[in-house]
């Protein structure tokens, strides 16, 4: 994770710079720029959340943000259509948007978050929202923050997704678990993955499209094989035209190109397929897009991710290695997007593709 903080489009690399920014925030833009130029760069690491974007002057009075625990907060589900609830991620890193879809007989949960506590709180909420229904958990893809807590559902419901995702979990699950603990989670958050048991689904489907009848409501599952991961899938509600995309789309965040060998290699993803998936999702003409991470919105979320990949390809042009200026050039085109650490793996991916 980068230790750079972005406030009001101003990049801040140290605590000193942040204090200077705060002191100057009520002054003119010109004066602020002058002060920042006088400040030493990068003297003190932040140890706070990687990036914060805010355009409000009042934000300067807030305390430094601390990196929040990546635990699902199940207190405030939002009902976006009758019987369709979303637990918003609140832009907390490693917390996914979660869906709870209530049918007459069955409640379907889309992703359960990272760790046992998150999964238990999601299950408890689903039971409260849909008492007496049988519980089905589906997982958009095999990355730990979406489903490494699924064991909670083993004796409390059924787990259902496609065969390729099951195969990938079986092949790479331990590597993902170890890699997330060691390289992705900060040391004081690693305990969240304690006691995780890699839990395969009870039932799978093999085809690229299937449906599940929840009782008075049918949901669709679609997969494109290997895209962001082997076997990621979307959940689509055809009546309401709501799509849960998993990490095939993030909103105002650089798409998670998870190229982190040896944990995840280029063979574990296929961005051309990912682009096809985005195009096909656009053809579904969704009214509401629930991305893997970030705010919910309309189809523009999908279009922006698709355009981003095209832009990165174009920006690379004839380059043959990962160049700092290239990364900065791409970064500058998306000033409001978070998680810029995912630009570099995207560039690396496209370079190895050519």
Give the residues lining the site for Zn ion (CB under 5 A). 143, 247
For 86, the token pair is 């979303």
Q: Which residue has the tokens 């992705």?
A: 184
- Closer residue to Zn ion (CB): 17 or 247: 247
Per DSSP, the three-state class of 168 is: helix
CB of 274 to Zn ion, least distance (A): 11
- Closer residue to Zn ion (CB): 130 or 185: 185
CB of 124 to Zn ion, least distance (A): 25
Per DSSP, the three-state class of 6 is: strand
For 18, the token pair is 């942040």
Q: How far, CA to CA in Å, does 264 sit from each of 24, 38, 180, 227, 270?
A: 43, 42, 11, 13, 12
- Closer residue to Zn ion (CB): 135 or 192: 192
Q: Where are the beta strands (DSSP E) in 60-119?
A: 78-81, 84-87, 98-102, 106-110
CB of 176 to Zn ion, least distance (A): 10
| Residue 130 β-bridge partners | none
- Closer residue to Zn ion (CB): 12 or 296: 296
CB of 117 to Zn ion, least distance (A): 20
Question: How far is it, in rounded angstroms, from Cα 206 to Cα 224?
Answer: 11
In whole angstroms, what separates CA 178 from the centre of its chain?
19
- Closer residue to Zn ion (CB): 143 or 166: 143
CB of 273 to Zn ion, least distance (A): 15
């Amino acid at each position: 994770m980068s230790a750079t903080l972005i406030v009001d489009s101003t990049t801040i690399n140290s605590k000193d710079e942040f204090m200077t920014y705060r002191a100057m925030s009520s002054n003119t833009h010109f004066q602020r720029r002058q002060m920042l130029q006088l400040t030493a760069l990068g003297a003190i690491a932040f140890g706070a959340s990687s990036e914060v974007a805010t355009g409000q002057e009042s934000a300067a009075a807030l305390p430094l943000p601390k990196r929040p625990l990546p635990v699902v907060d199940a207190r405030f589900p939002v009902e976006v259509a009758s019987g369709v609830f979303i637990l918003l991620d609140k832009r907390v890193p490693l917390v996914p948007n979660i869906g709870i879809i209530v049918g007459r007989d069955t409640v379907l949960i889309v992703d359960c978050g990272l760790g046992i506590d998150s999964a238990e709180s999601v299950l408890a909420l689903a039971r409260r929202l849909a008492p007496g229904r049988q519980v089905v958990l589906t997982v958009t893809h095999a990355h730990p923050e979406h489903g490494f807590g699924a064991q909670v559902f083993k004796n409390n419901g059924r787990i259902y997704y496609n065969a390729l995702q099951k195969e990938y979990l079986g092949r790479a699950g331990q590597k993902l678990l170890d890699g997330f603990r060691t390289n992705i989670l900060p040391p004081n958050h690693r305990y969240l993955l304690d006691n995780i048991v890699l839990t395969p689904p009870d039932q799978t489907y093999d085809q690229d499209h299937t449906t599940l009848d929840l009782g008075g409501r049918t949901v669709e599952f679609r997969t494109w094989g290997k895209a962001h991961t082997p076997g990621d899938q979307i959940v689509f509600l055809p009546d309401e035209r709501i799509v849960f995309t998993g990490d095939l789309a993030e909103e105002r965040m650089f798409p998670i190109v998870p190229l982190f060998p040896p944990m995840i290699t280029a063979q574990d993803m296929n961005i051309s397929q990912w682009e096809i998936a985005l195009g096909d999702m656009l053809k579904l003409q969704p009214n509401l897009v629930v991305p893997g991470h970030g705010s919910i919105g309309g189809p523009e979320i999908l279009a922006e991710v698709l355009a981003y990949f095209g832009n990165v390809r174009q920006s690379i042009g004839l380059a043959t290695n990962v160049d700092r200026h290239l990364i900065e050039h791409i970064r500058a085109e998306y000033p409001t997007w978070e998680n810029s650490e995912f630009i570099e793996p995207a560039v690396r991916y496209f370079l190895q593709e050519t």
